[in-house]
């Protein structure tokens, strides 16, 4: 199956700093990528849809100035958590849809963010 | 509105036995894809099985099979000969043919007991 690489897998940062998470589709082109947030033992919560070459679409309640998304190429989307605070600590997962595979969604391995 | 309901938050099964996970969904659309994803303790999301709504035949992938009842909007997952490696959170999901947003259920935590 298609591979989505997400980096870093784990990051600890001080409150007030910014953290960038990368999501790459390694063997297919992804015009659309998705960013999810997952709290312990809960389902995935869609944060935003990242479209190559255009602005991301954010879900209701997600601060676009807090969570900056850039999808500059067909294989790379980045999520930057700006001025991170402890309440931003969470597991973040990216995914990319392989249109060649007719609607299959492939996930990165996730990033555990801990803000001190 | 599109919704996915998994009514079993936790389940357990003895190794080598069979278990069925339930999923119901709601949509007014007729063309969509249904999925079961597995999230083991590593937290990597893994596609288990996929079903096209226009197909009446139930999808099968080795020990995993589904019971797709379109009229009832039901999409259950059966795991046969359960193995310890099947221990994971299982999420039911679907996507409309006309869209690109996946709708996930709340998940069922499955534990396989040795």
**Residues on chain A touching B91 (C-beta within 8 angstroms):** 43-44
Q: Best of A32, A41, A43, A52 to disrupt the B interface by mutation (most B CBs within 10 Å)? A: A43
Among B53, B68, B61, B55, which residue's Cα sits nearest to residue B22?
B68
User: Alpha carbon of A82 to those of A7, A11, A20, A71: distances in Å?
Assistant: 17, 14, 8, 17
- Where in A9-61 does DSSP place strands (E)? 10-13, 19-25, 32-38, 44-51, 57-58
Candidates B47, B50, B105; nearest CB to A43: B105
- Per-residue pLDDT of B5-15, as tens digits, reads 999 999 999 99
**Residues on chain A touching B100 (C-beta within 8 angstroms):** 32, 49, 97
pLDDT at A82: 96
Instruction: Residue B108: count other Cβ atoms within 10 Å of its Cβ.
Output: 22
Nearest CA to CA, how far is B114 from chain A (Å)?
Answer: 23
pLDDT at A101: 54
pLDDT in tens, chain A (116 residues): 678 999 999 999 999 999 999 999 998 888 889 999 999 888 999 999 988 888 899 999 999 999 999 988 889 999 999 999 999 999 999 999 876 655 678 899 999 999 99
Cβ contact, residue pair A49, B50, below 8 Å: no
φ and ψ at B85, to 5 degrees? -70, -5
Tell me, yes or no, if B8 comes closer than 8 A to chain A by beta carbon. no
- Per-residue pLDDT of B69-113, as tens digits, reads 999 999 999 999 999 999 999 999 998 887 778 899 999 999 999
């Amino acid at each position: 199956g298609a591979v989505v690489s997400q980096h870093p897998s784990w990051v600890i940062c001080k409150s007030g700093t910014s953290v960038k998470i990368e999501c790459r589709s390694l063997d297919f082109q992804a015009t659309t990528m998705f960013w999810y947030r997952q709290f312990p033992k809960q389902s995935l919560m869609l944060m935003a849809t990242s479209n190559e070459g255009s602005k991301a679409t954010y879900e209701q309640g997600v601060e676009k100035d807090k969570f900056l998304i850039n999808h500059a190429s067909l294989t790379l989307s980045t999520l930057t958590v700006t001025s991170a605070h402890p309440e931003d600590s969470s597991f973040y997962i990216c995914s990319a849809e392989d249109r060649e595979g007719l609607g299959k969604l492939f996930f990165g391995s996730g990033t555990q963010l801990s803000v001190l | 509105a599109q919704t996915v309901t998994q009514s079993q938050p936790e389940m357990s099964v003895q190794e080598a036995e069979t278990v069925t996970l339930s999923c119901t969904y709601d949509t007014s659309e007729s063309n969509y894809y249904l999925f079961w994803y597995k999230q083991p303790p590593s937290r990597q999301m893994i596609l288990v099985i996929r079903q096209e709504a226009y197909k009446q035949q139930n999808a099968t992938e080795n020990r995993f099979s589904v019971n797709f009842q379109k009229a009832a909007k039901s999409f259950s997952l059966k795991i046969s000969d359960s193995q310890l490696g099947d221990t994971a959170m299982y999420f039911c999901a679907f996507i409309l043919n006309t869209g690109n947003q996946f709708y996930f259920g709340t998940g069922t935590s499955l534990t396989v007991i040795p």
